[in-house]
Structure 1
Amino acid sequence: MEHAGKHALVTGGGTGIGAGIARALADAGAEVTITGRRADKLQEVAAGAERLHALVMDVDDETSVREGIAQAAAARGPIQMCIANAGIAEGGPFEKTTLAQW
């Protein structure tokens, strides 16, 4: 198991690709903290999976991120992998993308 004993944090882990990544990491032996804004979605993904751990965290809120990372590390040790999956995309021409949109 390549990831056995490692601690991964997956943002946006309550749905879609983030949930899929989290499950794959857990299947590979990692302890995985899944984060997102909706506790119900996180708990659905974590239900019945001993290596998936739900944690409400909003990546758009610096305090929430700092506190969430501290909680995850206190519970499962240092975070060794971070999958920054959460976010939203705005449509439009790439060359007109502002730094704030990026």
Structure 2
Amino acid sequence: MPSGTASPARLPGLTLARAEFSAPDARDRFLDTTGWGKGIVWVNGFCLGRYWSRPPQRTLYLPGPVLRPGTNELVVLELDGAPTACVRFVADADLGPTED
């Protein structure tokens, strides 16, 4: 899953993708799955869970103890295909709309 200034490539369906990323510290984060299709994500061998482009949930919780300071491994099993192969972590959960 490329990063940088170049536009990320499309991720075809039924693909197992692997990437490494650096984490400055081991604190809780959320993996933003906006723009992804449907699949499963692992970080350092720990299954974060399933994702789907259909609402409501748009993030997966990544517990801090799963991360290692320095290099970490991300594995994505994409089943439907995604228009982008970009990975982004955010500070807060996005669980979709809530009822008032």
TM-score range relative to shorter protein: under 0.3
Give the structure with the higher percent helix. Answer: 1
Q: Give the TM-score taking structure 1 as reference length.
A: 0.26
Q: Give the TM-score taking structure 2 as reference length.
A: 0.26
Greater C-alpha radius of gyration:
1
Give the structure with the higher percent strand. Answer: 2
